[in-house]
Structure 1
Amino acid sequence: MNLPSDNDFFGWVFLILHKYGAIFLHGAGVTLQLALVGTLIGCVIGLLVGVLRTLPIRKNANLFAKIGHGLLQFILAAYIEIFRGTPMIVQAMVVYFGSMQLFKMDMSPMFAGFFVVSINTGAYMAETVRGGIGSIDIGQTEGAKAIGMSHWQAMAYVVMPQTLRNILPQIGNNLIINIKDTSVLNVIQVTELYFSGNSAAGAFMRYFEVFFIICIIYFIMTFTCSRLLRWIEHKIDGSSYYSLVKSDMMADPTGHNPVHLGGEKI
C-alpha cells in the first residue's frame, strides 16, 4: 500500500476514511444511541424529580408526613447537587468500577454508559423542570385546584403541557451536550466515536487527520439534531395565522341557527 507523503493532508484523510470509515460510522452510531436513550430516560427522571420537588405539604399534616416530605426533598436535592457537581467522566469510573468492587456486578460498559448519561441528564433536567414549573403563573394551578383537581392532576393537565413547551430548547441543548460528552465514556471502554478515532489514530500515528474527521462527524450529528429540534419547536408553535370562530353552533342546541360572531383572519 502506497502511503501519502507527510505533507499530503487530504491524501491521509481520504486514506483513513477508506480504511476506517466503517469503524467511524459504528462509533457515531453508538454515540447517538447513548445520547438519545440517555437523554430520553434522563428527561423522564428529571420530570419526576422536578414534580416531586414542587410537591406541597399541608400545614395540618402530621409529624411523620412532614418528616417524610423533608427527607424526600433532602434526597432529591442531594441527587441533583452530586450529579451536577461532579464530572461525568468521574461518575462513569465510580459506577463502572464501583459496581464491580462493592456489589460484585459484572456491568457491561454500554449499560454503565446508558446509566451514567441518564442519571447525569436527569439531575440537570430536574432543575430545568422545576424552573419551568415556576415560570407558569400560580393562578393556573390555583384555578385547577379550585375546580377539584389534585396536585398531580393540576400538574398533568394544566402545568406540565405548558412547561414541556417552555423547556423544549433546554431538552435539545442536553441532547447536543450528551452527543459530545459521551466521548468521556471511552475511559470505561465504550466504543463510541472518540474511542474509535483514538484507535484509528494509533495505527498510522496521524492524530490531526483522524480527529479532523471525528470533528466533522460530531458537527454533522449536533447540527442535524439542532435543526431537527428547531423544526419540532416550529411545529409545536403552530401557524402564525389563524381565523377567529365566525359562528357558535352551540348557541342553538339544534345547531340549525348558529349565531354569527363576525370572525376575521389575523
Structure 2
Amino acid sequence: MKSLNIVKIGGNVIDNQDALNEFILAFSKLEGYKLLVHGGGKIATKMAENLHLKTKMIEGRRITDDHMIDVITMTYGGLINKKIVSQMQCYGINAVGLSGADGNLILSEKRSKKDDIDFGWVGDPKQVNGKWLRSLIMEELVPIIAPLTHDGKGNLLNTNADTIANVVGVALSSFFDVSINYCFELNGVLEDIHNQSTLIKDITYEKYQILKKNGVIVQGMVPKLENAFDAIQKGVKGVRIMNHRSISKLEKEYYDEFTTIH
C-alpha cells in the first residue's frame, strides 16, 4: 500500500501567523499523499471575546452552547480553514477545506451529560466515510479538515482535533500505510515541560502508564497519547509527536528530533 501522512496542527502554532506560515511551507514540500487536521481553540476564544461571549472550560474542554457552536463554526470551518486552504494554493497544493459534515465525512454522537456536566454541542465520532476521503486523496487533492463533525440530525458538533486525526487515520488505514503526526510548538513529549532538551524519544503504552502515574504526562498530553495508542491498536502504522518545524524531516528519519509512539 502507498503511504499517507496525516498531520494535525494545533497549539500555539495556529495562533502565530509566522509559525503557521513556516509550517504550511514545510507541509507543502512533504512528498506523497497527505492530509491536514487543524485546531484553533485560542482563536475561537478571542473571537468569542470580541462578540462579548464568555468561554467556559472544564478540565480543558470547551463548553459549547448554542452561541459558542456558532463561533466555533465561523472560526474553525471558516476563518482558519479557508486561510490555510488559500495559503496552500499559493504553494501549489490543491487543497480542499472540509468539515465532518461535508460528504458525511464524520458522523458523531452528541456527548451525553456526565457528572451533571453538559458540554453542549460537542461530538464523539462514531463513523468516518473513509472511502469518499480516499477518493479525494487519489484525485491528488489535499484535504484540510476542521474540527467540526455532525450528528446526522442537522447539527454541527465541536470535536477534538486530535481525535479527528485518530479516527480518520484508522478509517484510511484500510487503503494506505498511515502515519499520524501531531505537531505543535514543543519538540514532542518532554520530561520537563519547561526544557525542550528533555525529549522522550520513544514511548510504549507501558512506559506511558508509568510517566502518567509519575505526573510527567499531564493535562492535554493525556488525550493526545490516548488517541495515539488507540490509532496504533486499530491499524495505523505509526504515530509521532513533534515540533511543527520537524515536519520537513519526516522522510529523512531524524528520529532523535521527535517522540515516536509504539
TM-score, scaled to structure 2: 0.25
TM-score, scaled to structure 1: 0.25
- The structure richer in strand per residue is 2
- The structure richer in helix per residue is 1
